[in-house]
Amino acid sequence: MGKLIVISGPSGVGKGTIVKKLLKTGGYALSVSCTTRAPRDGEKEGVSYFFITEKKFDEMIENGGFLEYSRHFGKSYGTPKSFVEKQLKTHDVILEIEVDGALQVKKSYPEAVLIMVVPPNARELKARLLKRGSEDEDTIQKRMQRMEYELSKRGQYDYTVVNDKLEAAVDEINGIIKSVDKK
């Protein structure tokens, strides 16, 4: 059995960037979530997310198709259960999800490793959101407001990693994953 690795942290902190680098080091399977939000420029169906309607999302909930799900930023996000269960037989699986979903996962998989990525400071987080340039000012404000909520849950995570220098954060996370004993 592989390990279930959950990576969370405020929007714009660099989770997606870190996960891409982790995948390049090999050996990990990435869970692709379902969401009802619209694709951003460059995002691909089935790679970034499965972009689905609220109706389909509700059907998946009813059919027990999600390992966890959550509604935030006015949209729904969920982890399809079947992919994760299949991949875990042979791989360490990474979920890149927010805190409410992460804590649901910890309930059903207590052995899951929860890692929270935090910014060096709030100003830098806002700068990264602006740099990404994929959201309007209102959406950026909503995402900044949620930061405090996300950070308030860090005590329930197994590890906290500061994403200051990207390579250092990636190395630290890789080290954490390798050092956790398989249970």
Which residues in this chain contact ligand ADP in the complex, by CB under 6 A? 9, 11-17, 128, 131-132, 163, 165-166
Q: How many CA within 13 A on the CB side of residue 23?
A: 15
Q: Can you point out the beta strands (E) in 56-164?
A: 66-72, 75-80, 92-96, 113-118, 159-162
User: Which of ligand ADP, ligand 5GP, none does residue 78 bind to, with CB < 5 to 8 Å depending on kind?
Assistant: ligand 5GP
CB nearer to ligand 5GP: pick between 92 and 98: 98
CB 118 within 8 A of CB 151: yes
Minimum CB separation of residue 143 from ligand ADP in Å reads 8
Backbone angles phi, psi at 79, to 5 degrees: -100, 115
Q: Does 79 bind ligand 5GP (CB under 6 A)?
A: yes
Q: CB-wise, 170 or 177, nearer to ligand ADP? A: 170
Q: How many residues are present in the chain?
A: 183
Give 11 or 36: the residue with its C-beta nearer to ligand ADP. 11
Which residues, 6 or more positions from 86, have their beta carbon under 8 angstroms from its beta carbon?
none
Among ligand ADP, ligand 5GP, none, what does residue 71 contact (CB within 5–8 Å per kind)?
none
Residue 166 φ/ψ, nearest 5 degrees: -55, -50
Q: Which is nearer to ligand ADP, 1 or 127 (CB)?
A: 127
Q: What are phi and psi of 100, to 5 degrees?
A: -60, -45
Q: Which of 4, 18, 19, 33 binds ligand 5GP (CB under 6 A)?
A: 33
174 interacts with, out of ligand ADP, ligand 5GP, none, CB within 5 to 8 A per kind:
none
CB nearer ligand ADP, residue 60 or residue 119: 119
